[in-house]
A and B are shown apart, each in its own frame.
Chain A
Amino acid sequence: MSGRLHTIVALVENRPGVLNKIASKWRQRGFNIESLTVGHSETPGLSRMTFTVDGTTNDIEQVTKQLFKVIEVVKISDVTEQETVARELALIKVSTTKETRSAIIEIVDIFRAKIVDVAVDSLVVETTGTEDKVDALISMLTPYGLKELVRTGRVAMVRGGTSTVGAPQRNGQERHFKPAGEGKPKVGSLI
């Protein structure tokens, strides 16, 4: 797909099957989702998703419109053109020896990353930052031997006072969304 990486943020009802439906729309148009993160939002019952997808602005707009038709999608927008704060978290398990440990710790310090687990022959490094920063840290650590790597993919938020894709308000009041798993589980197709 010629184009560039787009960041799309969606506010969705937290129900079984939603992820499946959203993924299905991208698949139908032949897109590959580069990264995808989902988690609770500020409104109970609503989750915020960030995904990155490669494509032309026009193609992405077409799919975003289709996604907005998914009943559980409350809001969705392509924030690529907006001023955003975008971050990713990574955990990196790197091999260590007596000789290499201090050099590794030095790199970790320079990147303001953290060591969150230590074993005789390895360290687990945690870092948060832009994808570039994470990439750079990984490339610095690679020569020592990467044992395992996990990255969350991008999460993004528009800068300034407005909400990226805020929960809809009605009559000045936040609407109530029933979270799945609270009270009676709600219906939906299974993921």
Chain B
Amino acid sequence: MATQGKIKGAEIIMESLRKEGVDLIFGYPGGANLPMYDALHKYPDIRHILVRHEQAAAHAADAYARVTGKAGVCWATSGPGATNLVTGIANAWMDSVPLVCITGQVVSWLLGRDGFQEADITGITIPIVKQNWLVLNVEDIAPTIAEAFHVATTGRPGPVLVDIPRDVQQQLCEFEYPDKVDIPGYQPTVQGHPQQIKKAAALIAEAERPLILAGHGVVIARAAEELQELAEKADIPVITTLLGLGGFPGSHELYQGMPGMHGMYWNNIAIQEADVLIAIGMRFDDRVTGSLKDFAPKAKIIHIEVDPAEVGKNVPTAIPIVGDVKAVLQQLLPHVERARHDDWRNWFREMRRDHPSIAIPETEKILPQYVIKSIYDRSPGDAYYATGVGQHQMWAAQYFWGDNPYSFVTSGGLGTMGFEVPAAIGVQFARPQSTVWSFCGDGGFQMTMEELALCREYELPIKFAIINNHFLGMVRQWQDTFYDHNLSQVKMFQPDFVKLAEAMGIEAIRVTDKAMVPTAIDAALQHPGAVLIDFHVEHVEDCYPMMPPGVSLSDTIDQPPVAQLQEALR
């Protein structure tokens, strides 16, 4: 179905995006994508959001994709525009987020000659994309974009990049969009192997201490309902990884919180005690497993995972099931027997009573945990949260016991500081009617704070909570704990965040007194526009529980062994 007559390559890009149902692009213009900007005004149904730095375009599109389940789209010019996307692409790669990046490139006859603003972005991004393409013919634009969306969104999702020289964007061609993509080397498995499914059901039926460890795959596959059904039917406690948060309702009696380096103490021990571990849509990251040789010594592991390369990568599995998490759970459910595991449930109750991992001490000081928990407690149930990376991220995860599967947006695999601001922007665009909080580190915030300007420009009512400990907190904690208190380059001059916000046209509040915490949060929630709250929290507060790197889950430390350490530092 070709359009009437020939149109420019840049218009073909826009037509293709329209075919893919894209209505939002985060981008930044430059010499090599000028034809795309020239075409933009003809497509009023596709909104372009002008970021202040291309990294933010990638992060915002990434967060938008996490919340909506659709591919996020960002674009940039060649050279520095393209390389500025790289951190965002790597972030999406590590967290399996469908992100479609379109970069302008120098004109094709200058390729490989170091022309002005040339960067070999398809070469640069090879290890951090599912696939990339350099399009050298205008006829190839539409089929390539179709392939790009197909690859980004199917199987294990991930980022893709399409690089298009400026002259190709200007060439004329008829627009014809393929209605089907068929790539011989790319046929993701969807259904699980029926034999494996039966074996898994049999193993679950035998289990006395079964444990479900759910990851990002549950959220990505939109399989929260199926997971809940499985857990309830076989009475299995559920724990979720950092990226799996929300994949199971936090308020559910079977839910036990997060395991891992800063996870709940009881969960790390539970993994070591479980006899059957049902790992769903997760990849046994070292932040979850601790020392691999000591991981889950008593458990037979069932691993449900869409990416065959993840099976057996880090831990040996008894029953691997390769397939889409939702499809596999649907297949599995009818075979699973109803069961009760009262003793095991009791084990959790007692552990949680004896090890109150995230109890907040009574004090007049403003503890960062207290601020974060207060925000959760006072915000509506359908609020969304984006975080940066560091201590505040871990606290945000520890105290997140929400029910909305897509409401906790964080940089898990790459751990990208600076994600908090653009991610919140992406979330707010995805959910214009919802409350969106951005938990910011005072360090991470300074990496992407230029994007605050967008809140005013696009009227985004984001609530920024700077958990301001005047330190690169997580690094400070590691230097204190593992480098003999040698605090090196973790304290920096701080701008006046309140004035800064005001300069960006945003309301701002500074909180220096514990009594102000709830009032400031409520005021921010009631304010129709964006608000920044600069919470001056305790400078030295360590994040616990903690499993030191390289040790076994069994060696998790529930409470700080060195409370005196904090005194010593005052």
**Closest chain B residue to A61 by CB distance?**
B312
Most chain A beta-carbon neighbours within 10 Å: one of B131, B144, B151: B131
B5 within 8 A of A: no
Question: Do A68 and B134 touch (CB < 8 A)?
Answer: no
Is B122 interfacial (CB 8 A cutoff)?
yes
How far in angstroms is the closest Cβ of chain A from B268? 26
- When the two chains form their complex, are residues A71 and B185 in contact, meaning their CB atoms are under 8 A apart? yes
Q: Is the CB of A190 within 8 A of B123?
A: yes
Q: Are B140 and A62 in contact (CB under 8 A)?
A: no
- A65's partner among B122, B126, B131, B309 (CB-CB below 8 A) is B309
When distances are taken between beta carbons in the complex, the residues of chain B under 8 Å from A12 are: 185
Q: With CB as the reference atom, state the residue of chain A lying closest to B140.
A: A187
Residues of B within 8 A of A28 (CB): 127
Question: Which of A72, A74, A184 is the one whose CB lies under 8 Å from B139?
Answer: A184
Closest chain B CB from A78 CB (angstroms): 14
User: Are A190's CB and B308's CB within 8 A?
Assistant: no
Distance in Å from the Cβ of B108 to the closest Cβ of chain A?
Answer: 11
Say yes or no: is B313 at the interface (Cβ < 8 Å to chain A): yes
B307 interface contact, C-beta 8 A: yes
State whether A189 touches B309 (Cβ < 8 A): no
The residues of A that contact B139 with a CB separation of less than 8 Å are 184
Task: Give Cα distance in the complex from A70 to B185, angstroms.
Answer: 8
Measured as residues with beta carbon below 8 angstroms from the partner, the interface class of chain B is: 20 to 34
A187 and B184 in contact (CB under 8 A), knowing A20-B123, A71-B130? no
Give CA–CA (A66, B311) in the complex, Å.
Answer: 11
Asked if A13 CB lies within 8 Å of chain B CBs, one says yes
Tell yes or no: B186 within 8 A of A by CB: yes
Interface size class of A (residues with CB under 8 A): 20 to 34
Q: How far is the CA of A156 from the CA of B196 in the complex (A)?
A: 34
- Contact, CB under 8 Å: A20 / B185: no
B183 part of interface (Cβ distance < 8 Å)? yes
Complex Cα–Cα for A69 and B309 (A): 8
Which chain B residues border A13 with CB–CB below 8 Å? Answer: 184-185
A184: chain B residues within 8 A (beta carbon):
137, 139-140
Does A73 sit within 8 A of B, measured CB to CB? yes
B284-313 CB contacts (< 8 Å) to partner A: 307-309, 311-313
Instruction: Please tell me if the beta carbons of A187 and B135 are within 8 angstroms of each other in the complex.
Output: yes
Closest residue of chain B to A46 (Cβ to Cβ) is B184
Chain B residues, CB < 8 A from A87: none
- Is A175 a contact partner of B184 (Cβ separation < 8 A)? yes
Q: Which of chain B's residues have a CB closer than 8 A to the CB of A70?
A: 185
A62:B307 contact, CB within 8 angstroms? no
Bound Cα distance A17, B123 (Å): 8
- Determine if A168 is an interface residue (Cβ-Cβ < 8 Å): yes
**Could you tell me which residues of chain A, from 51 to 84, have a CB within 8 Å of some CB in chain B?**
61-62, 65-66, 68-74
Is B255 interfacial (CB 8 A cutoff)? no
A-contact bits for B113-142, CB 8 A (1 contact / 0 none): 000000010110011001111111101100
**CA A81 to CA B130, docked complex, whole Å:** 30
Beta-carbon contacts under 8 Å, B201-238 to A = none
Instruction: Give the nearest-CB partner of B182 in chain A.
Output: A175
Q: Are B123 and A187 in contact (CB under 8 A)?
A: no
Considering the complex, which residues of chain A in the window 70-103 have a beta carbon less than 8 Å from any beta carbon of chain B? 70-74
Q: Contacts A184-B137, A189-B122, A190-B120 known; A62 to B309 CB distance under 8 Å? A: yes
How distant is the Cα of A107 from the Cα of B183 in the complex, in angstroms?
51
In the complex, which residue of chain A has the Cβ closest to the Cβ of B188?
A69
B112 at the interface (CB under 8 A from A): yes
Chain B residues in 8 Å Cβ range of A61? 312
Once bound together, how far apart are the Cα atoms of A26 and B186, in whole Å?
Answer: 20
A190 touches B137 (CB 8 A): no
Q: Residue A190 contacts which of B122, B135, B186 (CB distance < 8 angstroms)?
A: B122
CB distance from B253 to the nearest CB of A (A): 38
Q: Which of A4-36 contact B (CB under 8 A)?
A: 12-13, 16-17, 20-21, 24, 28
Q: Is the CB of A71 within 8 A of B123?
A: no
Contacts A24-B127, A69-B307, A71-B131; A185 near B137 (Cβ below 8 A): yes
State the Cβ distance, B206 to closest chain A Cβ, in Å.
28
Q: CA–CA, A187 to B131, complex, Å?
A: 11
CB of A160 closer than 8 Å to a CB of B? no
Instruction: Give the distance in Å from the alpha carbon of A89 to the alpha carbon of B120 in the complex.
Output: 35
A65 to B130 Cα, complex, angstroms: 14
Residue of B nearest to A58 (CB): B312
Contacts of B140 in A (CB 8 A): 184, 186-187
Residues of A within 8 A of B312 (CB): 61-62
Measured in the bound complex, the distance between the Cα atoms of B133 and A185 in whole Å is: 12
What is the CB-to-nearest-CB distance from A162 to chain B, in angstroms, rounded to a whole number?
19
| Residue of chain B at shortest CB distance from A12 | B185
Q: Which residue of B lies closest to A21 (CB)?
A: B126
Given contacts A71-B183, A187-B135, contact A20 B126 (CB under 8 A): yes
Min Cβ gap A42→B in Å is: 15
Q: How far is the CA of A17 from the CA of B129 in the complex (A)?
A: 13
Least CB separation from A76: chain B residue: B185
How far apart are B338's CB and chain A's nearest CB, in angstroms? 36
CB-based nearest A residue for B184: A74
How far does the alpha carbon of A72 sit from the alpha carbon of B151 in the complex, in Å? 12
Report chain A residues within 8 Å CB of B132. 189
User: Contact at A187–B134, with CB atoms within 8 Å?
Assistant: yes
- CB atoms of A68 and B130 under 8 A apart: no
Are B185 and A66 neighbours in the complex by a CB distance under 8 Å? no
Question: Bound state CA distance, A175 and B185, in angstroms?
Answer: 12
Interface pair A189/B123, CB less than 8 Å apart:
yes
Closest chain A CB from B444 CB (angstroms): 27
Contact yes or no, A189 B184, CB < 8 A: no
Alpha-carbon gap, A67 to B306, bound state (A): 16
CB within 8 Å of B: which A131-181 residues: 168, 175, 177
Contacts of B136 in A (CB 8 A): 185, 187
Minimal beta-carbon separation of A49 from chain B (angstroms):
13
Instruction: Return A156 CB to nearest CB of chain B, in Å.
Output: 21
CA distance A65 to B189 in the complex (A): 14
Give A164 to B144 CA distance when docked, in angstroms: 31
Counting from the closest, the 3 A-B pairs by CB-CB distance are: A189-B122, A65-B309, A187-B133
Q: Can you show 29 pairs from A to B with CB atoms below 8 A apart? A: A16-B134, A17-B126, A24-B126, A24-B127, A61-B312, A62-B309, A62-B313, A65-B309, A65-B313, A68-B308, A71-B131, A71-B185, A72-B185, A74-B184, A175-B184, A177-B184, A184-B137, A184-B140, A187-B133, A188-B133, A189-B120, A189-B122, A189-B126, A189-B132, A189-B133, A189-B134, A189-B163, A190-B123, A190-B134
Query: Interface on A for B, CB 8 Å cutoff?
Result: 12-13, 16-17, 20-21, 24, 28, 61-62, 65-66, 68-74, 168, 175, 177, 184-190
List 5 additional A-B contacts (Cβ < 8 Å) besides A16-B134, A190-B122. Answer: A17-B122, A62-B312, A184-B137, A189-B163, A190-B134
